[in-house]
Structure 1
Amino acid sequence: MTPRRRPSALHPRVWLPSVVALLAAGLLWARVARGNPYVLPPLGAVGAQLVGEPLLYLANAWTTLSEALLGLALGALAAVAVAVAVSESVLLRRAVMPLAVVLNVTPVVAIAPALIVAFGFGILPKVLVAALTTFFPVLMNTVTGLRSVPRGVLQVFRTVHASRWDVLLRLRFPSALPFVFAALRVVFPLSLVGAIVAEFSAAGATAGLGTLIKVAAGNSQLDRVFASIACLALMGVLLLAAVTAVERRVLSWHASQTR
């Protein structure tokens, strides 16, 4: 049976539901803001903030994005390296995985102040917080993917005396790629959360959308707060779109991309 092709991005079935949902959310926002201006600012005021001070939001967005992407790269690379190690050693898996679980269940908002005290108010603690936020999902998905190789296929590789490196590179890694990309779809936007938490916790921070939100909230500038949130939301959507596009190209051979 011929697999169904994905509909074009220009097809109404692709974009129309999102447009309708956004319009409905906008109408609901306008209605709430009209009666509760101290809860939600009017959308026009938020738009005026973005249009009136674009350089302010671009500069702070770039700071937060840089922290998030550096943290994501550090966390994801460390997670893949640990996943490969624990997938090759049962003893190491039993030793490392409980520690990873403890790290995951510890609220990052509790760790961020300690990292800032330890490493100062520069970019390093913010990168580390973003890395911690992204580490565990990538680790768990990669371990699952590396261990999801069908036993029969693995037996074929063993019968031809394939080395451990060949099994890892030619069999386990391709099997793990869909799991890794599934994790990346989650942690790309999540890395922004880690960067924002770190900026909230850094008393001496002077840049970043988290700092901008904290200062604006202290001054009751709701329009600036929500303008910063809108920038974060847009960045999250763009990061998710980017990783999805890469996934479709890299995994064009996989069944998940033909449904």
Structure 2
Amino acid sequence: MSTTETSALAVQAATSATGRRFSPLASAKLKQNLRWTSWAPAVITFVIAAALWQITAIANPYVIPTIDQVWMSLIKDADTYWANMLVTSLEVVVGASSGILAGFILAIIMAEFQIMERAIMPLVVVVMVTPIVAIAPALVVAFGFGMTPKFIVTALVVFFPMLVNSLAGLRDVDDRALDVMKTLHASRWEIFRDLRFTGSMPYVFAGLRIALPLAIVGAAVAEFVAAGQQAGLGSLVTIAAAQANLPVTWASIALLCLMGVILISLLALVRERVLWWSDGAAVGR
């Protein structure tokens, strides 16, 4: 039997196993999430935090706004918040996608050719330890006052965690499985496709779990420090804070938090579909 036929049979077996095991696993995960012990602690924590916030805001009206003031600001100026949220979302989508893709591709190159890691990684570390607030003005000088500097800042923020996690995953290969594939005379591409790539997915999703919230941070920081177009939730925070407009400031911050929660929730849903086999132990517990 040829290597290609062996790989095809392995993929077919894995697909069949997925069809047999995904449904019971998903059902167990759903039952676990519906238990009150899963969601009640978080709800209680948020209720307590909201109550403390409201008490503090009433006692210190010039420090933080009350929750109802923030809510009324969101309702009153919904169009303004929506327009700025779309701008920040565009920065997150374009910047994060570019940084994540670049980090994963470079991780593949480094995993396959160690000499490339020795050559490139020191430069990557130098760039990553440079404060992003110092790089942003230089990017404005180089690329103008449009959206490009904000895209680059966001991409740089997510690039390093994605690179490090992906590289660790691509190298964390089961030696026994690798020996079997080499015994079957599998090509370098087949080893990467059937072993390294699939085995790296838990690490990749771990990197995404770090990178996606950082993308929100990167977009907001880019709007803080990159001069030019005054749009986006980060710019709205800066303008409102300069005017001591606490409801607008905290409403913008709340929307940034909401964006982060949405991204993490979507990532969790995708992870459950892709890495159903990785959650089996957790469900069993």
Q: 1:98 to 1:256 in 2, by over 3 A?
A: farther
Give the match for residue 64 of structure 1.
88
Query: Does the 8 Å CA contact 1:251/1:257 hold for their aligned counterparts?
Result: no
For 2:28, the aligned partner's letter is R
Length-normalised TM-score, structure 1: 0.95
1:215 matches 2:249? no
Q: 1:37 to 1:239 in 2, by over 3 A?
A: same
For 1:63, the aligned partner's letter is V
Length-normalised TM-score, structure 2: 0.87
Query: Does the 8 Å CA contact 1:85/1:92 hold for their aligned counterparts?
Result: yes
Match of 1:197 among 197, 205, 221: 221
Deviation at 1:249, TM superposition (A): 0.3
Match of 2:67 among 43, 53, 61: 43
> Identity across aligned pairs (percent)?
45
Give the match for residue 271 of structure 2.
247
For 2:118, the aligned partner's letter is R
Q: Distance in 2 between matches of 1:215 and 1:205?
A: 13
Q: Secondary structure at the match of 1:5?
A: helix
Match of 1:103 among 127, 133, 138: 127
Query: Does the 8 Å CA contact 2:153/2:219 hold for their aligned counterparts?
Result: yes
1:55 matches 2:89? no
Q: How many residue pairs get matched?
A: 258
1:87 matches 2:134? no
Deviation at 1:199, TM superposition (A): 0.7
Q: Distance in 2 between matches of 1:9 and 1:53?
A: 36
Q: Which has the higher helix share?
A: 2
Query: Does the 8 Å CA contact 2:137/2:227 hold for their aligned counterparts?
Result: no
Deviation at 1:70, TM superposition (A): 0.6
Deviation at 1:171, TM superposition (A): 0.3
Query: Does the 8 Å CA contact 1:46/1:226 hold for their aligned counterparts?
Result: yes
1:77 matches 2:104? no
Q: Secondary structure at the match of 1:220?
A: coil
Q: Distance in 1 between matches of 2:144 and 2:240?
A: 23
Query: Does the 8 Å CA contact 1:145/1:178 hold for their aligned counterparts?
Result: yes
Deviation at 1:255, TM superposition (A): 4.2
For 1:5, the aligned partner's letter is A
